[in-house]
Each structure stands twice: as C-alpha cells, then as structure tokens.
Chain A
Amino acid sequence: MCLYTFMPGVTFNKACFSVIKYVALRHPLSCLISVSFFFSHRLATKVTIAGGALYVTYDSGLLGGSAQGSEVLGKAKAAIPPAVDEWVKYFGFELPAFPKMGFSPVEAWNSGVQSSISALSSGPTALGGYTNQGLQYLKDLTK
C-alpha cells in the first residue's frame, strides 16, 4: 500500500506483486504468507467497497417499501437541479436552457384516453342507431 500511495504511476496490483516478489526471493518460506496476505488484503478491499455500496443503498431507503421509494425519488428530484447548477458554476460553463414545450404530455394523454373510452362506450349505441337509419332508408327506397 505504501508503494501505491507514493508512486501514482504504479497500479495497485503491480505494487503488490513487486512486494511479494521481493519477499519471496529473500525469504522463500514467507512467500506463502505474502501471497495469502495479498489476496486477503485485496479481497477485504473489494468486500468493503461492495458492502459499503449495499449499506448506503439500504440506509437511504432505496430498498424499502413503496412510500419510502417515492419519498426518495421526490428528494432526488428536488436535489438534482441545485447540484447541477453547482457543478456548472464549478466548471465555469453554461448549459443551454431546457426547451419549453407548448403542450403538456400528461394532459394530452389523459384527454386521449378519455376520448377513446367515451367513443368505445357510446360505440354500440351509435352503431345501432346508424344501422336502424340505414334499414329505414332502404325500406323507404323499396316502397
């Protein structure tokens, strides 16, 4: 770990392998201990990272019930624009303004659903009326 801290160009694996090689060449009996230390150290780091991610997810309520999940989404929605503004100011460039839409997709969808369902519900009655009208017209023709 000391090599990794003070030599940024060297990767973690290369540093650990170089330490193991040094120890194994000088003290062959300790080769086994150094290899097991390397693997246990790497495994401990990985387990810490994965366990930490799992704990943060559980603690923030992401794995709870429906109410908790929708609360977390609301908090995230509220927190994202200030965070984006802060990062934009930090990096010193302006994002283009979000284009404003002239219509609301939710309202358009809801009105579409209502029109479709009302047409479907009044469909059989209207069809019956048109059929009767057509039959009456044909009867008048044959008179």
Chain B
Amino acid sequence: MSEKELGKKLDRCLADSAVKLGAGLGLGIVFSVVFFKRHTWPVAFGLGMGLGMAYTNCQNDLRAPYLIQRNIKMAS
C-alpha cells in the first residue's frame, strides 16, 4: 500500500467516522424522545453503535489488500 493510498484511506475513515457518529447521535435522540422518555442512555448507545460501525469499516478498508491476497491463495 503506497503512502498516497494510505492517506486517502485514512481521510475516508475520518469522513465515515463523522457521518456514522452523527447518524448514531440522531437516531439515539429520536429513540430517546419517542420510546425512552428522554433518558440519556439511548443517545450514548447510538453514539457507541456509530463509533463501532466506523471502526469496523476502517478496519476492513485498511485490511482489504491483504484479504484479497489471502483469498487468491486459498482459491489456488
């Protein structure tokens, strides 16, 4: 993986993290207001879910070249 490619992947990771955290926060607020009588824990849960999804996406994106090589080896 070249340095330029790594930089692009990290930029994508940061952007995706911001989007996932925002979506988790928004959904947490909606569920907190609608179902859970404006408690704080659904908001924290939504933020945690968003952070976890962003982390998993970053991990898969950074591991992608190595996974492809492994799949080719297993197929042959």
- A and B assemble together: yes
Binding site for B on A (CB under 8 A): 46, 49-50, 53-54, 57, 62-63, 65-67, 69-70, 72-74
Smallest CB separation, B48 vs chain A (Å): 15
Interface of B is mostly: helix
CA distance A54 to B27 in the complex (A): 7
Given contacts A50-B30, A54-B27, contact A62 B35 (CB under 8 A): no
Q: Which residues of A contact B13 (CB under 8 A)?
A: 66
Contacting residues of chain B (12-61) with chain A, CB-CB under 8 angstroms: 12-13, 15-16, 18-20, 22-23, 26-27, 30-31, 34-35, 53-54, 57-58, 60-61
Q: Which residue of B lies closest to A62 (CB)?
A: B23
Q: Which residues of B contact A50 (CB under 8 A)?
A: 30-31, 34-35
